[in-house]
Amino acid sequence: MRIFSGIRASGAKTLGNYSGGFRQYAAMQEQGEAFFCIVDLHSITTPFEPEELREATLDLAALLFATGLDADRSTVFVQSHVHEHPEAAWLLGSVTSFGELRRMTQFKDRSAEQDFVSAGLFTYPVLMAADILLYRTNVVPVGDDQRQHVELTRDIAERFNQRFGETFIVPEVMVPEEGARVKNLQEPERLMSTTRGAPQGVVRLIDPPDVVRKKFKSAVTDSGREVLHDPEKPGIANLIEIMSVATGESIPEIEARYDGQGYGPFKEDVGEAVVALLVPIQHRYQELRADEPQLRGLLARGAAKASETAAPTLEAMYERMGFVRP
Ligand code: TYM
């Protein structure tokens, strides 16, 4: 089984990224041949600073290994190191419609927030489809916000196969049952995001323990009677889900354990559980990030393996589309 996922190299990654992404990657690398791509080419579709992009790329590499990816099992690489990605994206642009891209919710949300909407932001999902399809991927582990992009990838794959002959595997999306939509702690109706929403409600994987505790202490809960089990209460539901991600306990178990207690102590306990989860990750992260030559070496190894896998797919695309090859 082939597994592929991508992670944007921008901002400091959040507890949401861990919950919907990193956590799944580490588990899935045991189940097949896994590729994890730091998508730096996607990072330039929204405003960015060159110096920060360089740092963010290496930070993210260290974080991926720190959260459990094993360089001997998984191929971890940087998208811009493998030229097949943008080339394949250009080819796939011919089987993607303007209407499809215009309907993407991520594009609608992000473009509404910016004065300068780049062409790259619009064609972002085509590059994402190229990422996935080049590896003849069976399963794509992502959080819920990326589901629509993977569904578009499936449509693009089917359309290409129909028009030019069987070339791609049509991939399945894999979204975790719990923790696929971690919300901002201050604004529980919106997703926790690296770049948007109240900063006090965004828990970053490299936040110091005291900062994490404080963010949970001030998390917005809901008014009315303090009961844990109430689907009408997005703030508390989010905290329960985070607790479940941090400890591995099921939601009913957590609800039973805190039954009849107030929100205050519960919020503190969730904060402690997240601190216990993050501290070992942060230690490994600091160590890995301090050795840049080693990190670059791992990424070079990853890129070589990725390119070896992607090149034959790209070649098949060119052939089937009628290009004269050099
Ligand atoms: P990115 O970098 O925004 O996010 C990385 C992963 O984290 C998940 N995620 C969340 N999960 C739960 N709760 C949240 N609040 C939350 N926020 C983010 C995302 O769903 C994602 O799985 N477009 C992708 C990167 C990409 C990609 C790909 C993914 C490029 N090519 C190919 C899969 C396959 C993105 O921006 O992820």
How close is the Cα of 226 to the center of ligand 1, in Å? 33
**Torsion angle defined by CA atoms of residues 227, 231, 236 and 238, in that order, rounded to the nearest 10 degrees:** 150
Res 11: pLDDT: 65
Report residue 155 as tokens. 């449509």
Q: Report CA 302 to chain centroid distance, whole Å.
A: 18
Say if pTM beats, i.e. exceeds, 0.85: yes
Burial level of 326, CB count in 10 A (0-12/13-18/19+)?
exposed
Distance set, CA 142 to CA 5, 83, 130, 176 (Å): 7, 23, 16, 8
pLDDT of amino acid 10: 73
Planar angle of CA 39, 45, 46, nearest 5 degrees: 115
Distance 278 CA to ligand 1 centre (A): 19
Predicted local confidence at residue 208, as pLDDT: 98
Contact (CB, 8 A) for 231 and 237: yes
> What class has domain 2-174+291-321?
alpha beta
| CATH 1.10.240.10 boundaries in the chain | 199-286
CATH 3.40.50.620 range(s) for the chain read 2-174+291-321
**CB-defined site of ligand 1, < 6 Å:** 4-8, 16-17, 19-21, 39, 42, 128, 131-132, 140, 142-143, 145-146, 149, 180-182, 191-192
> Would you tell me which CATH number, out of the four given (1.10.760.10, 3.40.50.300, 1.10.240.10, 1.10.10.10), belongs to the domain 199-286?
1.10.240.10
**What letter would DSSP give residue 93?**
G
Contact in structure between 73 and 29 (CB atoms under 8 Å):
yes
Closest atom of ligand 1 to 125 CA is 23
What is the Å distance from ligand 1's center to 16 Cα?
9
Number of the ligand 1 atom closest to the C-alpha atom of 128: 31
Distance CA 157, CA 88 (A): 12
One digit per residue, pLDDT tens: the chain, 326 residues? 999 999 999 768 999 999 999 999 999 999 999 999 999 999 999 999 999 999 999 999 999 999 999 999 999 999 999 999 999 999 999 999 999 999 999 999 999 988 999 999 999 999 999 999 999 999 999 999 999 999 999 999 999 999 999 999 999 999 999 999 999 999 999 999 988 899 999 999 999 999 999 999 999 987 777 777 776 789 999 999 999 999 999 999 999 999 888 899 999 999 999 999 999 999 999 999 999 999 999 999 999 999 999 999 999 999 999 999 99
Q: Ligand 1 centroid vs 143 CA: distance in angstroms?
A: 6
- How far apart are the CA of 9 and the centre of ligand 1, in A? 11
C-alpha–C-alpha distance, residues 22 and 66, integer Å = 10
Q: Which atom of ligand 1 is the closest one to the Cα of 39?
A: 30
Say how many Å lie between the CA of residue 307 and the centre of ligand 1. Answer: 22
